[in-house]
């Protein structure tokens, strides 16, 4: 008797757990030959709400971790991803990549995670400043994470687009709610499993699959989401909704498969600048050198 | 009913609780579909039933005054909101709360009897209660002596409640069973019966200092005790789940349960209360969501 293959159930990732969508709905993802690949959760706006609640709850402790510690956690993600390389190559191929592109994509994803892991304890020094002022004050500006960031993953990429947008958000101490690519969602959920088995605390990253147009307006209107990140096209549709709490919108368009599609500004853009005026004394008749 | 008769009756008739049955019944209350309009009514009702609470060693007059302001002005940006039912503070803060709320209908509840442990001699507990009443408390939340209860000294527990009831004067007496320390649902039921027969106006689940606190299972058992007492004597007793009810959803589940066990007569803040500190903001955020269609953020609601 031949063995029955056990197929994976692709569930969503909220608060460090893999629940099914609250709505109980699903949709079928097909491969290039229109053959069904998997049944995937069709998340609802209530899932968006639950994900934001989880992300908010996780924000405090994640943003207060030391930069060095965050760097270690990000590096750990790369280690875990390396171990599951073959699984990703297989999934990418199933979703239409050629084997060589698939290998290129997973390798680039791992390297990009290590790249942002390296930035964790360095962007603050480069992005902060001591400012010249005309009074006896020590005036300095530092970067602080924005909070809960919604990420609308690039639609035409299953893994590298998501990794490219997520990693700088995490490196900067934000927590994230990700809407996975609607037609290429498999790697997003498998990547959530990688996050789950690395040292990323539950709730820091939450991944939802489903119809992007059904969830993006809820995410954009949500008062507890501080910023939205995505490609120009996907953010264009939700600008009006995001006005209510003056949400920050950042659109990054790039060929994510290009090894140059990374950089410091991906981190520093998703930071708020806090400037502090600290009174200083003139001691011994000497004026301040700041 | 005199004490020996009451205790005899409790010993003989206080029922054993079927834990699995309780869990099944409680699970069913959580599946009721509540339509938008009823939900809005329910949320406002829940707000009006809150005993806004601060019971911490770090409480200051400033903190209590702020909370009293919040009690009377939950969120002025939304018109037509009720106020909460009461504020709940330590005896030392009663005068400040009473002063802050004298222009309002909001009740002043004070915990007493060496809250939260109750490990003090009876005369200290009596003095504690008399002090709170003299300072202006209109409701007293006492704790039972769980140690005495667990060692089988029901008579002592009964007498203590009766004695504190005498000290209350016009103030209504809520008796805290601290169900998290009573270990079994059988004990919860027995303690409820003792409190009710000894003169409680309200029975209350928890101090909020011990986990688990107001689970729906213990609230269910206590509501059932109230129902049985009402069926045999015709007298109403109030119910106050406290501790752990921090979301609007959980509050609505509780209201559904009260309605289905005791009926709509209990659905006022005269007979049902939530002891909570963070529930109010979650309910306000749900009201905001219902009115605007937009999910709200805690950043836009006052902390106290």
Q: Taking CB atoms and an 8 Å cutoff, what residues of chain A touch B296?
A: 223-224
CB contact under 8 A, A224 and B293: no
The answer to whether B69 faces chain A, any CB pair under 8 Å, is no
Give me the residue label for tokens 């409790």.
B10
- Residue B297 resides in a domain: no
Class of domain A37-279: alpha beta
Q: Which tens digit of pLDDT belongs to each residue from A59-80?
A: 999 999 999 999 999 999 999 9
In this predicted structure, the answer to whether residue A288 has a pLDDT above a threshold of 60 is no
Q: Do B299 and A224 touch (CB under 8 A)?
A: yes
In the DSSP assignment, the letter for residue A227 is E
Asked if pLDDT for residue A286 goes beyond 80, the answer is no
Which of B295, B298, B300 faces A222 most closely, judged by CB atoms? B295
The alpha-carbon gap from B161 to the nearest alpha carbon of chain A, in Å, equals 41
* Facing A221 at nearest CB: one of B294, B299, B300: B294
Give the whole-angstrom CA distance, residue A81 versus residue A117: 14
What residues of chain A lie within 8 A of the CB of B293, using their CB?
221
Q: What is the mean pLDDT of chain A?
A: 94
Please identify which residue in the block is written with the tokens 């609505």. Answer: B252
Give residue-wise pLDDT tens across range A177-190: 999 999 999 999 99
- Domain assignment present for B295: no
In chain B, the residue whose alpha carbon lies closest to the alpha carbon of A50 is B295
Dist CA A250 CA A269 (whole Å): 8
In sequence order, the 6+-apart residues with CB closer than 8 A to the CB of A185 are A10, A29, A40, A158, A209
> Do the Cβ atoms of A116 and A74 come closer than 8 Å?
yes
A244 near B CB under 8 A: yes
At B104 the pLDDT is 95
Residue in chain B closest to A46 (alpha carbons) equals B295
CB-based contact, B20 to chain A, within 8 Å = no
- Residue B300 at interface with chain A, using a CB cutoff of 8 Å: yes
Domain limits at B23? Answer: 3-290
Residue B177 lies in a domain: yes
Supply the CATH number for residue B264's domain.
Answer: 3.20.20.70
Q: Is the minimum CB–CB distance between B297 and chain A shorter than 8 Å?
A: yes
Q: Tens digit of pLDDT per residue, chain B (304 long)? A: 688 888 888 888 889 999 999 999 999 999 999 999 999 999 999 999 999 999 999 999 999 999 999 999 999 999 899 999 999 999 999 999 999 999 999 999 999 999 999 999 999 999 999 999 999 999 999 999 999 999 999 999 999 999 999 999 999 999 999 999 999 999 999 999 999 999 999 999 999 999 999 999 999 999 999 999 999 999 999 999 999 899 999 999 999 999 999 999 999 999 999 999 899 999 999 999 999 999 999 999 998 7
**Residue A289, pLDDT above cutoff 70:** no
CB contacts under 8 A, B 235-294 vs A, are 293-294
A153 strand-pairing partners: none
A222 has a chain B CB within 8 A of its CB: yes
- B274 — phi, psi (to 5°)? -110, 125
Q: CB under 8 Å to A168, separation ≥6 — which residues? A: A116, A119, A262, A266, A267, A270
Domain assignment present for residue B229? The answer is yes
Query: Residue B296 falls within a domain, yes or no?
Result: no
Is position B299 within any domain? no
Torsion of CA A270, A271, A272, A276, to 10 degrees: -170
* pLDDT score, position A287: 61
How many Å apart are CA B230 and CA B224, to the nearest integer? 10
Residue A217's closest chain B neighbor by CA? Answer: B294
- Residue A144 sits at φ, ψ, to 5 deg, of -130, 145
Q: Residues 6 or more apart from B195 whose CB is under 8 A from it?
A: B144, B161, B175, B177, B203
* Mutation for B interface: A223, A227, A240, most B CBs within 10 A: A223
Phi then psi for B297, rounded to 5 degrees? -120, 140
Interface-testing mutation among A22, A52, A57, A224, with chain B (most B C-beta atoms within 10 A) = A224
Answer yes or no: do B298 and A245 touch at CB < 8 A. Answer: no
Residue A52 touches chain B, beta carbons under 8 Å = yes
Domain boundaries, chain A: 37-279
Q: Which of A120, A175, A126 is nearest to A149 (CA)?
A: A175
Residue B302 included in any domain: no
Each residue of A159-212: pLDDT tens digit?
999 999 999 999 999 999 999 999 999 999 999 999 999 999 999 999 999 999
Q: What is the pLDDT at residue A161?
A: 96
Write down the pLDDT at residue B3: 84
- Partner-chain contact A245 B296, CB within 8 Å: no
What is the pLDDT, as a whole number, of residue A137? 87
Residue B300 lies in a domain: no
Q: Number of folded domains in chain B? A: 1
CA–CA distance, A219 with A228 (Å, rounded to integer): 8
């Amino acid at each position: 008797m031949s063995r029955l293959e056990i197929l994976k159930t692709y569930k969503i990732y909220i608060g460090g757990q893999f629940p099914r969508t609250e709505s109980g709905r699903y949709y079928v993802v097909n491969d290039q030959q229109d053959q069904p690949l998997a049944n995937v959760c069709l998340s609802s706006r209530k899932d968006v709400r639950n994900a934001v609640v989880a992300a908010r709850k996780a924000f405090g402790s994640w943003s207060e971790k030391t930069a060095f510690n965050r760097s270690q956690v990000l590096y750990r993600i790369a280690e875990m991803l390396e171990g599951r390389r073959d699984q990703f190559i297989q999934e990418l191929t199933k979703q239409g990549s050629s084997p060589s592109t698939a290998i290129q994509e997973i390798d680039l994803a791992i390297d990009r995670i290590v790249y942002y892991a390296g930035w964790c304890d360095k962007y603050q020094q480069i992005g902060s400043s001591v400012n010249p002022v005309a009074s006896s004050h020590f005036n300095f500006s530092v970067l602080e994470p924005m909070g809960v960031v919604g990420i609308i993953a690039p639609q035409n990429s299953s893994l590298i687009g998501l990794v490219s947008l997520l990693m700088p958000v995490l490196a900067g101490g934000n927590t994230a709610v990700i809407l996975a690519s609607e037609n290429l969602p498999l790697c997003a959920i498998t990547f959530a499993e990688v996050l789950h088995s690395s040292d990323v605390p539950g709730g820091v990253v939450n991944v939802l699959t489903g119809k992007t147009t059904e969830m993006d307006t809820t995410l954009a209107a949500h008062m507890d989401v501080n910023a939205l990140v995505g490609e120009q096209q996907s953010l264009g549709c939700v600008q009006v909704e995001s006005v209510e709490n003056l949400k920050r919108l950042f659109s990054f368009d790039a060929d994510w498969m290009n090894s140059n599609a990374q950089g410091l500004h991906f981190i520093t853009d998703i930071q708020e600048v806090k400037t502090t005026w600290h009174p200083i004394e003139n001691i011994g008749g000497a004026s301040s050198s700041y | 009913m005199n004490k020996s008769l009451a205790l005899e009756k409790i010993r003989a008739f206080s029922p054993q609780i079927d834990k699995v049955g309780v869990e099944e019944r409680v699970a069913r209350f959580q599946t009721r579909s509540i339509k938008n309009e009823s939900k809005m009514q329910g949320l406002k009702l829940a707000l009006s039933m809150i005993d806004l609470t601060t019971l911490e060693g770090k409480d200051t007059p400033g903190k209590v005054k702020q909370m009293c302001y919040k009690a009377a002005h939950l969120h002025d940006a939304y018109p037509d909101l009720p106020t909460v039912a009461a504020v709940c503070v330590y005896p030392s803060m009663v005068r400040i709360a009473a002063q802050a709320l004298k222009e309002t209908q909001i009740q002043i509840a004070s915990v007493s009897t060496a809250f939260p442990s109750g490990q003090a001699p009876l005369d200290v507990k009596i003095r504690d209660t008399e002090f709170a009443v003299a300072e202006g408390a209109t409701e007293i939340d006492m704790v039972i002596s769980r140690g005495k209860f667990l060692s089988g000294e029901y008579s002592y527990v009964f007498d203590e409640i009766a004695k504190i009831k005498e000290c209350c004067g016009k103030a209504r007496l809520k008796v805290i069973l601290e169900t998290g320390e009573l270990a079994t649902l059988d004990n919860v039921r027995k303690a409820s019966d003792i409190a009710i027969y000894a003169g409680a106006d309200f029975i209350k689940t928890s101090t909020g200092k011990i986990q688990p606190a107001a689970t729906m299972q213990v609230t269910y058992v206590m509501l059932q005790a109230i129902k049985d007492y009402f069926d045999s004597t015709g007298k109403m007793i109030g119910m106050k789940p406290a501790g752990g009810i921090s979301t609007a959803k959980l509050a609505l589940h509780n209201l559904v349960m009260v309605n289905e066990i005791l009926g709509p007569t209990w659905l006022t803040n005269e007979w049902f209360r939530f002891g909570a500190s963070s529930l109010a903001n979650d309910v306000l955020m749900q009201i905001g969501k219902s009115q605007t269609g937009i999910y709200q953020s805690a950043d836009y609601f006052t902390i106290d």
